Structure 1
Amino acid sequence: METKDIIKPENLVYGKSELLIDTIMHYCPGCTHGVVHKLIAEAIGEMGIQEKTIGIAPVGCSVFAYNYIDIDWQEAAHGRAPAVATGVVRLNPDKFVFTYQGDGDLASIGAAEIIHACNRGENMLVIFINNGIYGMTGGQMAPTTIENMVTSTTPCGRDSELNGYPLKMTDLVAQLPGTSYVTRQSAQTAAAVRKCKRALKKGIQNVLDKKGTSFVEVISTCNSGWKMTPVQANKWMEENMFPYYPLGDLKDSEKGEPVSKN
């Protein structure tokens, strides 16, 4: 092989972070979890904080997150990741601590924990994966399920008069004084992945700078639970979830003031 034919590492379209463990992921093909795992591993590796990072794993599809990223992990009971993270942060104030939670975990059973942790301004990063459904347990309606969305428990679509309205957790935590950076991203295209990674790195840096709670929501797909192909799920997400959960920063201020809408 001639020298000119050798592909240089910096020119590879896909490069594997050294922090990703050589374990085959259990996620369904097309699931957003795997993409976000890769971004977290890349961000931690590039920022050189592997040895000082502690992740709090949830209950849900991502319960085995500790099998894939080579950092210290702590498992939490369903919805209690912010409470566990609070203890870890206060015992280890020089560590970078983050929680990784789905919408059924964070917005339902863990709603009280996340609201109070954000209100206290605990110095941690919250990564919130919102696919609008309980993906692990059979595709039931979640607090974030949008109106008219079909799930196993809303076969005719979510009815706000019967089931209440979809819960915009990110909008809620943006109003709390303890949050310094609150953003909503996605990971369905190359451009979206790059934006999501920048948001994650900014959230990490805020924690390192001790600015309180940073909150990164990632609007995601569950093509298995939605009964769609990955391509169909991405299109459905863009056409239906993005209008209700618009992407972008909701708060970005050292003083914790909401981003101006003007």
Structure 2
Amino acid sequence: MAIVFQPPQALLDVPTHYCPGCTHGIIHRLVAEVIDELGILDKTVGIAPVGCSTLAYDYFACDMFQAAHGRAPAVATGVKRANPDSVVFTYQGDGDLAAIGTAEIVHAATRGENITTIFVNNCIYGMTGGQMAPTTLPGQITETSPYGRDVKTAGFPIRVAEMLATLDGASYIERVSVDSVPNVIKAKKAIKKAFENQLAKKGFSMVEILSICPTNWGLSTAESFKWLRENMIPYYSLGVKKDSTKETERLMSSQCSNKTQEGK
């Protein structure tokens, strides 16, 4: 009998600690499916963060490191430089990457480190109880912003994808979401491209994934997806923020066009 469905080999068949409705499980599966499809399980190394996905090393079947809070890109840099043939990815939340780890992600990107970053953005600190994060939206209520984030005192949310896209060392930056089946399919394509870029030695790639946190948002799963669509996506627009391959193709096409015009 032909097998039509089976769990990805890159994901261990174990219970997870995530809250009901949390989309980390979806994202884990997408990463694992990509690893399987590319046939790179035996040479993949993942870097787990501090945050809700700290225990990612218990769920992925590849080799895993646990990094200090925010330092996953630095650890990934060391692993990749010491083992250039390995495929290295970091899996980080917004508190880990966009707060204490801002310097690490910015400098890994600007150096063009040939690694892949999976950045999960749910606009809140999940593991520690729902405090305001660097990505918390203006007016969003959290444990430490009970009247809503006031941009006059707390500043504006950081659009990480747009920020990193300005850096010359960044090769591929895209923001996706996992709020619907069509968007989950797009998210997987983006994750696969980020890994393929690393295999092609194109430099730093990051996929930012808009996610939900029903527990700390105080909403049901269905309500959380609705809130994401109505609030997060308008502020954190989906799509490719930088693709150096397409930019190179565009420049080459423009040069060819100019030469054709000159020859007339």
Range into which the TM-score falls when normalised by the shorter chain: over 0.9
2:179 and 2:228 in contact (8 A); partners too: no
1:70 has 2:61 as partner: yes
C-alpha displacement at 1:253, in angstroms? 1.7
Provide the alpha-carbon RMSD of the alignment. Answer: 1.4
Aligned to 2:204: 213
1:183-236, Cα deviation, whole Å (9 max, x unpaired): 000112111111000000000000001100001000111010100001000000
Decide which of 99, 122, 139 is 1:108's aligned counterpart: 99
Whole-angstrom distance in 2 between the partners of 1:141 and 1:32: 19
1:239 has 2:239 as partner: no
Instruction: Name the SS for the 1:254 alignment partner.
Output: helix
Aligned to 1:34: 25
Whole-angstrom distance in 2 between the partners of 1:220 and 1:157: 20
Letter matched to residue 132 of structure 1:
C
1:181 and 1:256 in contact (8 A); partners too: no
Aligned to 2:139: 148
Percent of matched pairs sharing the same residue? 54
1:185 has 2:185 as partner: no
Q: How many residues align?
A: 249
C-alpha displacement at 1:256, in angstroms? 6.7
2:92 and 2:120 in contact (8 A); partners too: yes
With normalisation by structure 1, the TM-score equals: 0.92
Instruction: Name the SS for the 1:166 alignment partner.
Output: coil
Aligned to 2:7: 16
Runs of at least 5 residues in structure 2 that lack an aligned partner in the other structure: 251-264
Whole-angstrom distance in 2 between the partners of 1:19 and 1:50: 6
1:43 and 1:201 in contact (8 A); partners too: yes
Whole-angstrom distance in 2 between the partners of 1:45 and 1:189: 23
Mapping 1:115-194, distance limit 5 Å: 115-194=106-185
Aligned to 1:3: none
C-alpha displacement at 1:133, in angstroms? 0.3
Aligned to 2:40: 49
Aligned to 2:245: 254
1:99-133, Cα deviation, whole Å (9 max, x unpaired): 00000000000000100010000000010000000
1:180 and 1:256 in contact (8 A); partners too: no
C-alpha displacement at 1:172, in angstroms? 0.5
Label 1:38 to 1:225 Cα distance change in 2 as closer, same or farther (>3 A).
same
Whole-angstrom distance in 2 between the partners of 1:129 and 1:140: 16
1:130-174, Cα deviation, whole Å (9 max, x unpaired): 000000001000000000000000001001001100011111000
Whole-angstrom distance in 1 between the partners of 2:132 and 2:86: 36
Runs of at least 5 residues in structure 1 that lack an aligned partner in the other structure: 1-5
1:177 and 1:256 in contact (8 A); partners too: no
With normalisation by structure 2, the TM-score equals: 0.92
Whole-angstrom distance in 1 between the partners of 2:247 and 2:107: 16
Decide which structure has the larger Cα Rg and report it.
2
Whole-angstrom distance in 2 between the partners of 1:95 and 1:255: 25
1:180 and 1:255 in contact (8 A); partners too: no
Whole-angstrom distance in 2 between the partners of 1:19 and 1:249: 26
Whole-angstrom distance in 1 between the partners of 2:45 and 2:21: 27
Whole-angstrom distance in 1 between the partners of 2:143 and 2:247: 39
2:119 and 2:209 in contact (8 A); partners too: yes
Whole-angstrom distance in 1 between the partners of 2:247 and 2:35: 24
